[in-house]
Chain A
């Protein structure tokens, strides 16, 4: 894997301490977003296809981040955090600009307002954590 270089000593720094809290929170969001999307797509996909596909995509991003942080894969983590941040901002803006396309809430609707804005804060905290460790190691 291309992430080998991001592991080792630097990887340990990513995984331990506050990193473990990030893994836990991302794990919960991975679980919440994917299972929610799975239910939505399985039971009522036609109602809001765009919103549900984005929901599923958010779930995949959270899974990637959970694994990347747990394994200490810094570069994958930074890339996924950027995708996540872009996703929250784009979907958040779209959901406010065109509510008709998002009749059902996704994790990223309204900048994550349904989840206490945690989805908006997470990528920023994740990036700070990953970049801080990068400078040190």
Chain B
């Protein structure tokens, strides 16, 4: 796992949460921008999971760490599905929650990673 990469990922997830929140405030359903954003976020967390798993010996709390990794990978597709199902402003609110959660979970991943073995 790479601290700088994960830091950027947290920033990107927070930007997506903000864009999604603005969409909700403007009373629009999920559009192509949010869909693409979630797709990119999913790609980014997959890369992060790959980086982290490649050097898993580094962490002491393996079960918790893998749990958070799984969480980050599962959440963006779930948010995409929700955004398509709920064609009101509440779809983007779900995406805001999802993106924020990915940011928090990545923060927890970094904490566990930095605690070391």
Chains A and B form a bound pair:
yes
Q: Which residues of A contact B (CB under 8 A)?
A: 16-18, 20-21, 24-25, 27-28, 31-32, 35-36, 39, 42-43
Q: Are A21 and B90 in contact (CB under 8 A)?
A: yes
User: Which one, B39-47, B49-57, B93-101, is touching chain A?
Assistant: B93-101
Q: Which of A17, A21, A35, A36 has the most CB of B within 10 A?
A: A21
Contact of A20 among B61, B63, B67, B82 (CB under 8 A): B82
Question: Could you list 11 A-B pairs, sorted by A, with CB under 8 Å?
Answer: A16-B90, A17-B86, A17-B88, A18-B93, A20-B91, A21-B93, A24-B79, A24-B94, A24-B98, A25-B97, A27-B78
Are the C-beta atoms of B67 and A16 separated by less than 8 Å?
no
Q: Is the CB of A24 within 8 A of B71?
A: no
Q: Which B residues are closer than 8 A to A by beta carbons? A: 61, 63-64, 67, 71, 75, 78-79, 82, 85-86, 88, 90-91, 93-94, 97-98, 101
Chain B neighbourhood of A28, CB < 8 A: 75, 97, 101
A36 contact from B64, B78, B85, B90, Cβ within 8 A? B64
Say yes or no: A39-B64 contact (C-beta < 8 A), given A17-B90, A21-B90, A24-B82.
Answer: yes
Whether the pair A43, B63 counts as a contact (CB closer than 8 A) is yes
Give complex CA distance A108, B61 in Å: 22
**What 4 additional pairs, Cβ within 8 angstroms, besides A21-B97, A28-B101?**
A20-B91, A28-B97, A35-B67, A43-B63
A32 to B75, alpha carbons, bound, how many Å?
A: 12
Chain A, residue nearest B75 (CB): A28
Q: Is A39 a contact partner of B67 (Cβ separation < 8 A)?
A: yes
Q: Report which residue of B79, B85, B97 has the largest number of chain A beta carbons within 10 angstroms of its beta carbon.
A: B97
Chain A neighbourhood of B90, CB < 8 A: 16-18, 20-21
Using CB atoms, name the residue of chain A closest to B64: A39
